[in-house]
Amino acid sequence: MTQIMHSDVFTRRRTQRISVFILLAVLAVLAGLISIVLGQYYISLSDLFPILAFGPSQESLTASVVWSIRLPRLVLGLLVGAALGVAGTLMQAIFANPLAEPSIIGVTSGAGVGAAVAIVFNLTFAGTFTAPALAFLSALLVTFIIYQLARHNGRVTVVNLILTGIAINAVCNAIISFMVYLAPTANREAIIFWQMGSFNGSQWKHVWVVLPVVLVGLAVALCLGRQLDILALGERAAAHTGVDVPMLRIVAIVTSAVLTAAAVSFAGLIGFVGLIVPHLLRSIVGPQNHILIPASALGGAVLIGFADVAARTLIPFADLPIGIFTALVGGPTFFVLLRRMMRKGVH
């Protein structure tokens, strides 16, 4: 009898998870279609499908808008959303805290410093890739510095990592503020706009840089899923089962840092995705990371997809920063989740 009950629970849980994945996939496709057809230049579905079918070689204004402007922006947005969702899941698993996110390890503030340096000093040694390249490298450098400073007696504890991250993040934000203060008006506006996040000006060459990073990062994260599930039992229990906890923590942090750095380097700072998406989906699909990681990738893509549609279409002839909309959604959602945790006695 007990065996039958367990089997029924497992079947219901599996069906629920499959339904969630199907729903997220449908929402991602829907966000993609809406993103392509809506905008200052409206494209009907009857025009869209032939354009997609015959490829980018067609010589028409509509085809040019689809293949040169909206599709690269859409694909880059979905990749960035997936990267941030997975990065947030890894951070929450490593820190054993559902309110953790990649900014804890200094990725976003480090990227901000790199981008600010490129903008203020008008650096162009890598062409249009200069600011993203410096943002990416400085994000990883700051993460490395935080990890090294948090090391004590050869070990890195979660508490040391968080406290060191807070201190270094404060320093990075001070550097950014100093550069904003010194920069000319045009550069100052560029830094501020970058910090608010946007996919304006996305190109296929940006997609081809971010795509392999996200695919490799997602693959590594999926490989870590089972070990992260064991780590949830505690470091000592995980070590007894053969999990190399220090190495697992390093690989997970590096993977999260690389995914976040790749995302923010081309899109700017986009908040709440890595915090809200995995936290929300955990209550739906369960805490198992090998399930939560791909779900968060889809969930992050969906959130960014719809947020970018709102950023492009809410105000005519304006392309608003996408960070405004992720904050508008993420802030209240975060508060609701926090209140729910407080009611359950989780601290």
60 CB neighbour count, 10 Å cutoff: 10
For position 10, what pLDDT does the model report? 67
For position 2, what pLDDT does the model report? 55
Digits of tens for pLDDT over the chain (347 positions)? 555 555 666 677 788 889 999 999 999 999 999 999 988 888 888 888 888 887 777 778 888 888 989 999 999 999 999 999 999 999 999 988 877 888 888 889 999 999 999 999 888 888 888 999 999 999 999 999 998 888 887 777 778 888 898 899 999 999 999 998 888 888 888 888 888 888 988 899 999 999 999 999 999 999 999 999 998 888 888 888 888 888 999 999 999 999 999 999 999 889 889 888 998 898 888 889 999 999 999 999 999 999 999 998 888 888 889 988 888 888 888 788 777 777 766 54
Domain with CATH 1.10.3470.10 in the chain: 100-268
For position 330, what pLDDT does the model report? 81
Asked if 109 and 172 touch (Cβ cutoff 8 Å), the reply is yes
Q: What is the pTM (predicted TM-score) of this model?
A: 0.91
What do you get for the CA distance between the two ends of the chain, in Å?
Answer: 37
Please state which CATH class domain 100-268 belongs to: mainly alpha
Phi-psi region of 242 (alpha: psi -120 to 50; beta: other; left: phi over 0): left
Amino acid in position 86: V
Question: What tokens appear for 242 in the block?
Answer: 């053969």
Question: What tokens appear for 262 in the block?
Answer: 């790749």
Rounded distance, CA 119 to CA 131, Å?
7
177-188: string of b/e by CB count within 10 Å (b at 16+)? eebbeebeeebb
Phi-psi region of 113 (alpha: psi -120 to 50; beta: other; left: phi over 0): alpha
Sign, Cα dihedral of 137, 138, 142, 145: positive
